[in-house]
Amino acid sequence: MELLAPAGDLNKLKYAVYYGADAVYAAGNNFGLRAKSTNFSEVHLKEAVDFCHKHGRKIYITVNIFAHNSDIEQLPEYLIFLQKIGVDALIISDPGVFSLAKEFAPDVDIHISTQANVTSWSAVDFWYKLGAKRIILARELGIKEIVEIKKKVPKIELEMFVHGAMCMSYSGRCLISAFLNNRSANRGLCTQPCRWEYNLIEKSRPGEFFKIEEDERGSYFFNSKDLNLIKRIPQIKKAGIDSIKIEGRMKSLYYVAAVTRAYKTAIEAGTNTVSTDTQEELNKVSHRYYSEAFFDKFDSSETQYYGSSAYIRDYQFVGEVQKVEGTSAFISIKAKFCIGDEIEFIFPDSKNDFKIKLKNIFNEENEMIQLTKPNTIIRLDLDKKLPKWGIVRKKNIEE
């Protein structure tokens, strides 16, 4: 079973690969559904493809907007380019884009995006007969339905989301952002208004906000929990799923690395129960309350969280190891920490993880400092040489 991780930019892509992804998905600057993510220029796309292939990994490119006429004019050139640089598959939801891909990038596999909302074996069969290589199933399917699909259409590859944010609508088929902000989710511009807190205003009393309370839980009535199926990996493997996918191209490199590594560990455990340590790793990245969503049965009290849309942040991503010289580590600072704090280093191989209580921190001028500043580089003198691709996190102390 393939582990497929998000790659919001080239650096995150490298972390995904080093922390265990078998394949990554990314977008060029146009035609994908994460317009606000950094995404890849054409030069970076080529570099990304070469990097993945050099490491024996695959790279899939999202071309999953619902295209308008103006997009259609520009698509052939882009599709020809993607075929030329050797991407492994295109992720597509729109039948018009599908047909152009068949014409202008005939050698590249096509994966049908979750945005196409494929929810039955008949829809899977439809795309199979048209030549799709893989279906990224709608998140709204339970495992029983997926098993049935696999039995009825065994020749097509099936991919399913196992981790990350969910929409309260059918994956992305939602007009709230387009309606409130003129930024359409179906054009990759969602502003996530489903996470906002809503109040009611009576027309003749502007500025007075009346609380909307369906019950004591409050008014985040659109806010979905995050998907987390790590405990179900043995079952998913048994069902014959070809690829499991992590959501989050706009998340940090720490998120990508830690979540990818946890799922890799779960896959490697085979059909054994996933250890609590591995499950616990997923509580150390910023997340909303977790849910198994539709896996067994749909229950809205399980998928929605009405109390707040805030993230749970028990740990903070505080630094990325940029360079190692002997036993000194040079760290690019993402968030503050100070002498006396306990920080934790994580690496692609979790056996190398360790914690230390900080006794010294040096700035770039080689001066000892008490507190780090974001967007600077600091040096830590340690008692061992660090492996490559280290990330630094810190537990948040409750106030």
List of residues contacting ligand SF4 (CB under 6 A): 167-169, 172, 174, 176-177, 185, 190, 192-194
Q: 323 phi and psi, to 5 degrees?
A: -155, 150
Q: Do 226 and 288 form a contact (C-beta atoms < 8 A)?
A: yes
Q: Which is nearer to ligand SF4, 33 or 123 (CB)?
A: 33
* Contact present, 173 and 115 (Cβ < 8 Å): yes
Rg (CA), the chain: 22
Kindly tell me which of 264 and 287 has the beta carbon lying closer to ligand SF4. Answer: 287
Give the span between the Cα atoms of 31 and 24, in whole angstroms. Answer: 17
Which residues have C-beta within 8 Å of that of residue 234, sequence separation ≥ 6? 269, 270, 271, 272, 273, 274
Q: Work out the burial of residue 294: count CB atoms within 10 Å of its CB; fewer than 13 is exposed, 13-18 middle, 19 or more buried.
A: buried
Least distance CB 180 / ligand SF4 (angstroms) = 9
Nearest distance from C-beta of residue 174 to ligand SF4, angstroms? 3
* Least distance CB 166 / ligand SF4 (angstroms): 8
Nearer to ligand SF4, 164 or 348 (CB): 164
Least Å distance between CB 215 and ligand SF4? Answer: 21
Q: Which is nearer to ligand SF4, 21 or 67 (CB)?
A: 67
Q: How far is CA 152 from CA 122, 131, 142, in A?
A: 9, 17, 16
Closer residue to ligand SF4, CB minimum distance, 86 or 193: 193
Nearest distance from residue 295's CB to ligand SF4, in Å?
19
What distance lies between CA 252 and its chain's CA centroid? 9
Name the residue nearer to ligand SF4 (CB basis): 91 or 167: 167
Residue 184 CB, nearest approach to ligand SF4 (Å): 9
